[in-house]
Structure formats: structure tokens, C-alpha cells
Amino acid sequence: MRIYVTSVYVDDQDKALSFYTGKLGFEVKADVPVGEHRWLTVVSPADPDGCELLLEPDAHPAAKPFKAALVDDGVPLTSFYVDDVEAEYERLRGLGVRFTQEPLRMGDVTTAVLDDTCGNLIQILHKPGLVKQ
């Protein structure tokens, strides 16, 4: 069994698409109209056939309170692996991305937490050997 798709609830799919592609560097995998919304997924250009991230509208009544509770507590919704947290932090800050946690080293793991502009906190992390190249 493998993970095929995972979701982040977003308050605006167009804004999310701009952020996740224009700032984070993901690429569109699927963009299919589904009623008033879209089945809109992005993937890492380093793994275009890998796990898709669904930019899912937060239209369900539970989604907005769930997102707000996580943000209020400073809890990231999900984590993305990067090769160098400090370099990615500087690159993203240069693009205007707001971080709620600067790079922090905890043993052999380094993390930072950013605001995705769509109601979520996202952690970027690096741990040597975690991802096979």
C-alpha cells in the first residue's frame, strides 16, 4: 500500500495554486473542474509521479475550525522534505513567504515553519538519510 494523494485544505484554490507553484516550486499534476471547485493537485518536480498534494477547498464545515485550531496552537498541518532548510528558508523569505518558526536544529533534524497564505502552517524539514535520492 502507498500514499497516492494527500490534502491541504485551502481557503482559495487560485491563491493556493499561485503559492504552491510560484513560491514553493511544485508543479500542477491535475486540474479538473468538479462542480464549483476543482480537483487540483500539485507534485514535486523532483518526483512528478510521486504523491500528489490536493489543494482541497475548505468548504466542509469542520475544515475551517480544524485549520484555525492548528494555527492557533502553532501546529503545522503537514511537512515537506527539503535538502537544506536554511537555504530554502532564505530563498522563500526572499520571495516574501512568512515564517512562524525560523530554522531550528533538533539533533540531526532541522525544521522551519511557514504560513501558506491559505490558512495552514507548513513545516519544512531535513534529516540526513530520511529521503533516498
Task: Note the pLDDT tens digit of each residue in 14-57.
Answer: 999 999 999 999 999 999 999 999 999 999 999 999 999 999 99
The CA-to-CA distance between both ends of the chain, in Å, stands at 21
**Domain coverage including residue 93:** 5-126
Q: Is residue 9 part of a domain?
A: yes
Number of domains, the chain: 1
Looking at the whole model, is its pTM more than 0.85?
A: yes
Residue 133 pLDDT greater than 60, yes or no: no
Calculate the average pLDDT of the chain. Answer: 96
- What angle (nearest 5°) sits at the alpha carbon of residue 101, between those of residues 98 and 58? 60
**Domain-located, residue 131:** no
- d(C-alpha 4, C-alpha 29), whole Å: 12
Task: Measure the CA–CA gap between 109 and 63, rounded to whole angstroms.
Answer: 30
Q: Which residues contact 47 (CB under 8 A, 6 or more apart)?
A: none
41 belongs to a structural domain: yes
pLDDT band at 87 (very low <50, low <70, confident <90, very high): very high
